[in-house]
Amino acid sequence: MDIMDKVVITAAVDGPIATPADNPNLPYTPEEFARQAKAVYAEGASVIHIHSRGADGLPTSDYGRTKEILDAVHESCPILTQLSTGGFFPYEERAKLVELKPRMASLNLCTMTFGKFEFRNPPLEVRKVAARMMELGVKAELEIYDSGHLDFALRLLKEGLLLEPLQFSVVLGVDGGAAATPENLNILVNRMPKNAIWQMIGVGAKVNLQLTTIALAMGGNARTGIEDTLWLSKGVMAENPALIRRLVGVAKAIGRTPATVEETEKMLQLPKLN
């Protein structure tokens, strides 16, 4: 395997479930998203993964509010924005957010159990949003929680609905998806096309640092943030910049340096927005 020395670090600053009551460091105003974007960028993240949030601090799929958040982040620093189309709102509302033209957007392949929620990703709707993302030049970040999701992504590729290189996020540790084990990571990475790009998302305080560390050693990219763990360590609440600082520290310790925004655009082969 070719271990690249540059690594794309993504900050997933809020997520679709946790509330500010769970962790007061979770951003929800446009100003706070902008402030934290700047802070994680300064720590070495070149991508920020955003779930939109309302004035009450809870997740929202409101188009206008999401635009305000994205605009504020774009004004704050050059970090690349990756907007989530995940979450538990009606699919059409989630899909519409790609019209805001973030540089990337998440694409979830299959319907699944997600903890106590049902995560709906109906096949025809997924195909429609994949096609629309291609038209707009918004690169799909393919979140795969189990091996069938990888197969479905390959099917969409064959149908001409995804751009190569495929950009996978291996998500392990969700109740309803594959368990957070190195074996599962290895199986999924080995089944990807040779030119695919991938990052690790380890869900939960007990596995987040360990699995992202393994991924870094395997030559993958890695993501962390309050979306993936509410805790920095036992009894210490997570803050996004601190999580990024620690992950960048691990990367540097094994000879990998965080990619700049320009390097990330090249490594992920991001298309031009239309």
- Residues that bind ligand KMH in the complex, under the rule CB under 6 A: 15-16, 84-86, 106, 108, 143, 171, 201, 203, 227
CB of 59 to ligand KMH, least distance (A): 9
CB 208 within 8 Å of CB 216? no
Cα separation, 230 vs 217, whole angstroms = 24
Q: Which does 108 bind (CB under 5 to 8 A by kind): ligand KMH, Zn ion, none?
A: ligand KMH
- Residue with smaller CB distance to Zn ion, 54 or 219: 54
DSSP conformation letters of the chain: ----SEE-EEEE-S-SS--TTT-TT---SHHHHHHHHHHHHHHT--EEEE--B-TTSSB---HHHHHHHHHHHHHH-SPEEEE---SSS-HHHHHHGGGG--SEEEEE-S-EEETTEEE---HHHHHHHHHHHHHHTPEEEEEESSHHHHHHHHHHHHTT-SPSSPEEEEEE--BTB--S-HHHHHHHHHTS-TT-EEEEEE-STTTHHHHHHHHHHHT-EEEESTTT-SEEETTEE--HHHHHHHHHHHHHHTT-EEPPHHHHHHHTTPPPP-
Contact between 208 and Zn ion per CB under 5 A: no
171 binds, among Zn ion, ligand KMH, none (CB under 5 to 8 A by kind): ligand KMH
Sole window of 84-92, 127-135, 228-236, 244-252 interacting with Zn ion (rule: CB under 5 A): 84-92
CB of 237 to ligand KMH, least distance (A): 18
Q: Is 81 in the site for Zn ion (CB under 5 A)?
A: no
CB nearer to ligand KMH: give 40 or 203.
203
Stretch that binds Zn ion, among 61-69, 82-90, 157-165, 176-184 (CB under 5 A): 82-90
Q: Which residue, 162 or 203, has its beta carbon nearer to ligand KMH?
A: 203
How far, in Å, CA of 224 to CA of 241, rounded?
Answer: 10
Q: Is 84 in the site for Zn ion (CB under 5 A)?
A: yes
Task: Give the CB-nearest residue to ligand KMH.
Answer: 86
> What is the closest distance, in whole angstroms, from the C-beta atom of residue 50 to ligand KMH in the complex?
9
- Of 23-31, 86-94, 116-124, 181-189, the segment contacting Zn ion by CB under 5 A is 86-94
Nearest CB to Zn ion, comparing residues 228 and 239: 228
Between 215 and 256, CB nearer to Zn ion:
215
Chain residues in the site for Zn ion (CB under 5 A): 84, 86
